[in-house]
Structure 1
């Protein structure tokens, strides 16, 4: 493990300590490591180095919008290779919330999320994307448990 020293002005250090306490970190090092991971991952995603991901796509839509629910379901069926699961919640008389769990190439997941969000009647959407490192299977990789 590599160590480094950082200098902070008093106000910034106080605000940082309050943040890490509010988030439940044991110490400054844990908080800094998480922040660095988050920033490095964001940079990987922006630069296109993030090839595969898992994601949740949440969106609110008006279910009275003509054929919208049908179109959204059809889009999910066409993206069956990306959509792992869906959850549907009735918010009120007019609005529904759906959360889709997705897995696949980052480019394909972002493209699907953008197309779905652009559907007329989808009011709000948010994509939470997490990069995962996947690659070709290693035939020498052995486990005592089966892979699904």
Structure 2
């Protein structure tokens, strides 16, 4: 490990300490490493668009918008190769929340997410993309692995 010295103002240090405590980190170094990893995942890479990824598309929509539920369902069906699973929650009488887990080439996933988020009646949408160099065995759900075993990488 490398030792790095940084200067942080009091307000930011207070926020870091709160992040450390609520996140269950043992010390500030762990908390900073966690934040740096998260920040690096958000940084676009030059050849990033062809990279395989997994992603969570989170969006809130008005299910009373004319034909929106049907259009969203058709969008998902026409991209079935990209879809892992979708969670649908009724937030109130007119509002639904969906979380769709996706996999595929990053540019394709982003294009699909942009289309869904851009649908008339979708009030909020966000895509969280994680790079993935997943082989077929790791792409299977947990219960499809022999004896329920699966690999996790630790960074």
Normalised-by-shorter TM-score class? 0.7 to 0.9
Distance 1:94 1:13, change over 3 A: closer
Residue pair 2:19, 2:31 contacting (<8 A) in 1 also:
no
| Structure 1 residue 13, shift from structure 2 partner | 4.3
Could you state the TM-score of these two structures normalised by the residue count of structure 1?
0.79
Aligned residue for 1:55?
55
Cα distance in 2 for partners of 1:24, 1:90 equals 32
Residue pair 2:60, 2:122 contacting (<8 A) in 1 also:
yes
Residue pair 2:89, 2:97 contacting (<8 A) in 1 also:
yes
User: RMSD of the TM alignment (CA)?
Assistant: 2.8
Aligned residue for 1:82?
82
Cα distance in 2 for partners of 1:29, 1:48 equals 31
Cα distance in 2 for partners of 1:73, 1:9 equals 48
Residue pair 2:48, 2:106 contacting (<8 A) in 1 also:
no
Aligned residue for 1:101?
101
Cα distance in 1 for partners of 2:18, 2:95 equals 38
| Structure 1 residue 18, shift from structure 2 partner | 3.6
Cα distance in 1 for partners of 2:82, 2:15 equals 41
Could you state the TM-score of these two structures normalised by the residue count of structure 2?
0.76
Aligned residue for 1:133?
133
| Structure 1 residue 102, shift from structure 2 partner | 0.6
Give per-residue Cα distances to partners, 1:52-103, cap 9 Å, x unaligned. Answer: 2111111111112111111110000111111111121122221111111111
